[in-house]
């Protein structure tokens, strides 16, 4: 890719105009600098400063921390995404208080409700990765309560960690 093509890529609008162009550009710059943690994180933080209420910016920061194995930072961003999405859905910000009928968790076409479930799943998964198995399982069991058809595939994840406990006992 030559310099002109690279600059064109930086100017692309992937989020349908949902983000200010400057924030979207910072996300592109972060992706381009992914190998340089300091530089990539600086671009992500700049995007967050430009568009602090845009969930897609928080999601970019979450994914960066997640893929870099920075679990504690990722879990903090996941908690923030959970709060933001709960506010959008008019749910309690305490995930333990959320009940199945409060949002269309069972509808595949309700993007916000599904996003809430995915964020809750990520939050529980990160707790498991950090070794807090009881807390992680509690979160994932809440997801199965909200999503009894298991459309986002939490049960297989729980099964893997349940097997891990079986091996730990031997």
Structure confidence by residue, pLDDT tens digits, 100-135: 999 999 887 888 999 999 999 999 999 999 999 999
pLDDT range class, residue 14, cuts 50, 70, 90:
low
Q: How confident is the model at residue 170 (pLDDT cuts 50, 70, 90)?
A: very low
Cα gap 98→83, rounded to integer Å: 12
- Tokens 């550009």 locate to 25
Q: Model confidence over 127-139: pLDDT tens digits?
A: 999 999 999 999 9
Mean pLDDT of all residues in 138-147: 95
* pLDDT-derived band at 19, boundaries 50, 70, 90: confident
Cβ atoms of 117 and 102 closer than 8 Å: no
pLDDT at 16: 61
Domain boundaries, the chain: 1-68, 92-170
Cβ neighbours of residue 122 under 8 Å, at least 6 residues apart? 62, 66, 74, 78
The CA-based diameter of the chain, rounded to the nearest angstrom, is: 59
Q: How far apart are CA 148 and CA 152, in angstroms?
A: 10
Give yes or no for residue 3 having a pLDDT over 60: no
Are the C-beta atoms of 57 and 23 separated by less than 8 Å? yes
The pTM assigned to this predicted structure is 0.84
63-68-69-75 Cα dihedral, nearest 10 degrees: -30
């Amino acid at each position: 890719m030559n310099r002109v093509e690279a600059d064109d890529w930086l100017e692309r609008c992937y989020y349908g105009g949902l983000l200010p162009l400057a924030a979207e550009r910072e996300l592109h710059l972060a992706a381009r600098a992914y190998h340089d943690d300091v530089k990539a994180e600086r671009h992500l933080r700049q995007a967050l400063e430009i568009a602090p209420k845009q969930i897609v910016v928080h999601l970019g920061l979450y994914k960066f921390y997640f893929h870099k194995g920075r679990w504690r930072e990722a879990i903090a961003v996941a908690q923030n995404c959970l709060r933001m999405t709960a506010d959008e859905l008019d749910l309690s910000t305490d995930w333990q208080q959320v009940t199945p009928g409060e949002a269309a968790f069972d509808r595949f076409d309700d993007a916000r409700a599904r996003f809430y479930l995915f964020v809750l799943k990520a939050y529980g998964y990160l707790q498991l990765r950090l070794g807090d198995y009881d807390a992680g399982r509690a979160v994932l069991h809440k997801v199965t309560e909200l999503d009894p058809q298991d459309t986002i595939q939490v049960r297989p994840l729980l099964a893997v960690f349940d097997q891990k406990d079986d091996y730990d006992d031997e």
